[in-house]
Structure 1
């Protein structure tokens, strides 16, 4: 009987392995998540990577807010119907499925990544999910639909309670790394300013 705890320890990761349903459920239970992001873009033809950072918000019922602070201000708002991007105080650019279907598809995918939307992910990727133990997980997505398979070689995500890292590996050999930290679940409702941004046309 003294071996039983050891056997339970060895079997535990398999018995309680994290599944894609678990991830979607975990993220669905977080109506609003705010976090700090640091993004590093590594391009083969450039000697130094491009770095940016700022704050992001993912709201289950509204969409995604992406506020880059450095090296220049850039705001992006993404919902199911449109994407609005404003760079350095310039007039906002509105992208919809009608006026730029490929760009809209890519940005719609970004929201699906943050929410582990199983339906969207399974439609567009071959999925490999690894249980890293201690409730940690790693997800590799390999595109199976166009234009995603022409742009990305793979997309890697990892985290625990929250999504913590995203790595976009493109077909040209360039890479974008996004690290998310300082996750916050409160306030659990949108502020007035956040509501205004989602409702802006």
Structure 2
């Protein structure tokens, strides 16, 4: 009887700790600022060697997303609710707004939805396949169901635990992108003065 009780308690504990998409959305929405390093590998059809890049990423609930690629060359991408700014070394910033390029801003909102696990936005654009892998690990497979996403991507897969750890993108041309996030931190909970300048650029 005691052994049976222990087994039942163990099973209940496992069930109680199962991760759901709603859990992720609530968890991610409670993080004001997330900082992480990233390593990206793009495999392009017809190219013998993959393209590798790396850098840092800041996701701030109130300000937006700041993507800083350091290698193999400097590239800054700033996404906010009202604009997207791309800055490459030696070139003038390229600024896109919702008025000048509405389609680009569809991708803008999708990027935010990916990092925040925003179920409402994701379900509008994808068929969702969420799997709890146990021990806090999970995977979310997004299959595009609306245009132009279903003409561009076969699938987008998200993998993580406490944080989003990997994104795998497979497009309709046979190309693949793998992004790995690591050294994630949520402290400090507010942007530093230097980080505020990133979002003010």
Q: Is the 8 A contact 1:168 1:176 kept in 2?
A: yes
Deviations 1:20-40 (A, max 9, x none): 110011111111010000000
Deviations 1:35-89 (A, max 9, x none): 0000000111110000000000001111100000000000011011111010123
Which stretch shifts more, 165-174 or 94-103?
94-103
Deviation at 1:153, TM superposition (A): 0.7
Corresponding residue for residue 165 of structure 2:
164
1:79 aligns with 2:80: yes
Q: Is the 8 A contact 1:73 1:88 kept in 2?
A: yes
1:154 aligns with 2:140: no
Q: Which runs of 5+ in 2 are unaligned?
A: none
CA RMSD of aligned residues (A): 1.4
Q: Is the 8 A contact 1:139 1:156 kept in 2?
A: yes
Question: What number of residue pairs does the alignment pair up?
Answer: 200
TM-score normalized with structure 1 length? 0.94
Corresponding residue for residue 188 of structure 2:
187
Corresponding residue for residue 119 of structure 1:
120
Corresponding residue for residue 133 of structure 2:
132
Corresponding residue for residue 40 of structure 1:
41
Deviation at 1:104, TM superposition (A): 2.2
CA distance in 1, matches of 2:150, 2:51: 24
Deviation at 1:12, TM superposition (A): 4.2
- SS of the equivalent of 1:3 reads helix
Corresponding residue for residue 20 of structure 2:
19
TM-score normalized with structure 2 length? 0.94
Deviations 1:70-127 (A, max 9, x none): 0000001101111101012311111122222222212321121011112111111111
